[in-house]
Structure 1
Amino acid sequence: MRLVVFSALILGIVALSGCSHTTSIQSVDLNGYWHDELFNPVPDVPSPEQVFALPPKAKSELLQSYNRANMGSGNSISAHDWLSQQLRADKGGFQYYDNYTRVAEVTYKERQGNCMSLVVLSSAMADILNVPVEIYEVQVEPVWDKQGEFYLLNGHVNIKLMPPELMNTAYVRTGAIQVDFLPERAMRGYAKKKINRQTLLAMFYNNLAAEALIEKQQDKAYALIKQSLLQKPDFPPALNTLAILYRYRGHEDWAEDAYRLALKYTPEDLTTLYNLALLLGEQERLEEWAEIHKVLELARIRNPYYYYDMAQQAFSDHEYQQALTWYLRAVEKADYRHEFYFGLSKAYWATGNERKARQSLEKALALSRDGDRQRYQSKLNAMEHH
């Protein structure tokens, strides 16, 4: 069986900078890293103020709803407590939708988005109600995804709504309240780092830039990367995204400059090291590649898509039992990926285990959405009529 080598670039979504040791160095002047002549201006990049802005109607609705909640009650409910209840998904407040980063106004209207969208919306609503907040980057195990040509590493952020400082009103509850898709008890084992709004904005714009790259909107991606680094010039994930963009435009020297600047800030960042190693390998700079590869080889076995790609190759080669082994290892590493269970279903079916094939396909269906869901449902229907 042929060895499967990753050829896709890795985009860091949200921010993985907290997962690597950050070296304290003076920020570098980025003027020499920009190449505006390659890109056309785009008109639709939101300003930092627009990221958190809510329309007057939304502000009015929010204030009126909160005031109604306090009318005629023996005890007033604090603004931060009330707001946390409005944001709960089980109350129809907000639904998780990965790789979907939007400004507060859009999220307020659509009621869906990723963890970054939830934090931005929560912060915007808290501003209206004068609720203090604390924003955190949570150093969870990164969640892997694949979109088109890119592997995605999803980090995590959440927000705490702080209680009012003045205690002259009898509130029902006064403790700080965490707003997150994940329950607070699930977050207790992870280190977290408090970040300011500037860092959150840098993450936000880099998310949008990565999403634009996936959609092949390179001019937009460039403008968004600029906004990200305007907020935080020493932000390695945005430098990594900039380097990827330059590579796609055929300027490997500029890409390498951006990669190496990112590594000055986070020398052990595996995302940047991996992408730089790809560039060095393609240029046949083998000694430099080998030095980085020593570090990456240990990290590769943590990537569930390593096992998935091996499984796909084995299945293509009709080595179904071997494919089954690789799919199982991929699921063991990331039991949240619908395509892993779909592959597992195919392998079970090919090896004669129809019961487990159906179970795996049902799991893929439960984890999927939109077009994939329809495809899996059709496959399941075909299995049941087999």
Structure 2
Amino acid sequence: MQPSLAHLYSQRAELFGPAIPVPQASQILSLTPSQQQHFLDFYRREKIRDAFTDDIIYQYLQANLHRFNYHSGTFTARETLAQLQGNCLSLAIVTAALTQLTDAEIRYELVDATPVFEQQNSIVERGVHVRSKILRPVKETEQTIYGRSMGTVVDYFPSKDVRFLSNVSGVEFIAMFYNNIAAEHLTRGDFKAAYWYSRKALELAPHYAANINTMAVIYRRAGAADVAETIYRYALTLPTDQLTILKNYRALLALQKRDAEVAELDKKIAKIYDPNPYVWVKLGDEAYRQQQYDEAKSYYQKAVALAPYVQRGYMGLARVWLALENYPKTEKMLRKAMANSYQQKQVQRYQAKLAALEQLQLSRVPSQ
């Protein structure tokens, strides 16, 4: 009989010491008394004017979070309002906390938008993110649009090109908070805290791929790569995001120099569709570092096919063609990367690379 995921992430728990206190969902979504009162005063004032509840919450957010700064950290509702900073999940948590003080309902959606974002200072580009939809109470209006409840979407990254991926249940939404905090602790090397937050996330949403991967990475970095591999292999039998699991399992095998198994996973990954170009850029980078040029080329080509504006895809192809000593194609990819650059410094770097390539080609011309 196959073990459960809960059994797998309970293995070698002694590596992480006794359980640490983890905030409950009610604490994550709670506001201070003064924060509650501030909102309720605004809410009651607007209700006198017969404003819709979802509009009131949105207007309150607009009025009070206009100085809100993006921060990669995930915070509770009270922390986010106090600090006026956080990521998209933090904003959704605040929205949920405010909605709880009214008779409106809230839903969460996982979406993917593809605006032109570039990687800066090693910060990974945004792929998918969560947004909130505040549903208008039925008693305020019986109207629906094409059979769908009316309401207001609150999104940190509003875009016309948003692609809906899936609904997120309230339980999964809270699990995302725990997983984000686990990842933050993992980045700081605090494996103990990372483990207990990740464990809480998995208890709530055991099939959520991001949670599974976080736990596997925690085990690997804590010196239990065998447990990490067992978790990945089990996850591949679950109805979850297979690409997330496969690419991270691949990374584990690559670290262990298990090239034949990496090649097998590459075949599986190549058959999967993912609309996020940066997923393929990252895989291309990994294959390039391992001198697997055919695989790298395939991944970079997927990236630029999905998003022709992604200069890192062209730059990756340029590096591959340079390694293969195909200088005309190297030059072509460098020029495409430069054409999709929006900063003068980047353009200058590509011009320097083109000049260096020209010198390289001249040095390879046999003397007469």
TM-score by length of 1: 0.67
Change (3 A) 1:68 1:282: closer
Partner residue in 2 for 1:32: 8
Matched, 1:216 2:189: yes
Cα deviation for residue 284 of structure 1 reads 4.1
Alignment of 1:143-162 (within 5 A): 154-162=127-135
User: 2:253, 2:262 within 8 Å by CA — same for their partners in 1?
Assistant: yes
Matches of 1:99 and 1:331 in 2, distance apart?
A: 30
Quote the sequence identity (%).
Answer: 26
Count of aligned positions: 310
Decide which of 229, 234, 241 is 1:261's aligned counterpart.
234
Partner residue in 1 for 2:276: none
Matches of 1:250 and 1:152 in 2, distance apart?
A: 29
Matched, 1:46 2:23: yes
Partner residue in 2 for 1:370: none
Gaps (5+ residues) in structure 2? 143-148, 272-279, 281-298, 304-309, 356-368
Change (3 A) 1:259 1:286: same
Which letter does structure 2 place at the counterpart of 1:175?
M
Matches of 2:242 and 2:338 in 1, distance apart?
A: 23
Partner residue in 2 for 1:88: 62
Cα deviation for residue 62 of structure 1 reads 0.8
Change (3 A) 1:234 1:183: closer
Alignment of 1:122-271 (within 5 A): 122-140=95-113, 154-167=127-140, 175-183=150-158, 185-187=160-162, 190-266=163-239, 269-271=242-244
Matches of 2:332 and 2:185 in 1, distance apart?
A: 35
Relative contact order (C-alpha < 8 Å, sep 6+): which is higher?
A: 1
Matches of 2:234 and 2:161 in 1, distance apart?
A: 35
Cα deviation for residue 324 of structure 1 reads 9.5
Matched, 1:347 2:357: no
Moved more, 301-310 or 283-292: 301-310
User: 1:115, 1:158 within 8 Å by CA — same for their partners in 2?
Assistant: yes
Cα deviation for residue 296 of structure 1 reads 3.6
Matched, 1:111 2:84: yes
Alignment of 1:11-26 (within 5 A): none
Gaps (5+ residues) in structure 1? 1-25, 353-386
Matches of 1:114 and 1:207 in 2, distance apart?
A: 10
Matches of 1:267 and 1:164 in 2, distance apart?
A: 33
Matches of 2:89 and 2:313 in 1, distance apart?
A: 27
Matches of 1:76 and 1:27 in 2, distance apart?
A: 56
Cα deviation for residue 270 of structure 1 reads 2.2
In the TM superposition, what whole-angstrom CA distance separates every residue of 1:307-346 from its partner, at most 9, and x where no partner exists? 556778999xxx9x959945954995xx7xx9x8754443
Which letter does structure 1 place at the counterpart of 2:156?
F
State the SS of the aligned residue for 2:38.
helix
TM-score by length of 2: 0.70
Partner residue in 1 for 2:289: none
Matches of 2:34 and 2:237 in 1, distance apart?
A: 46
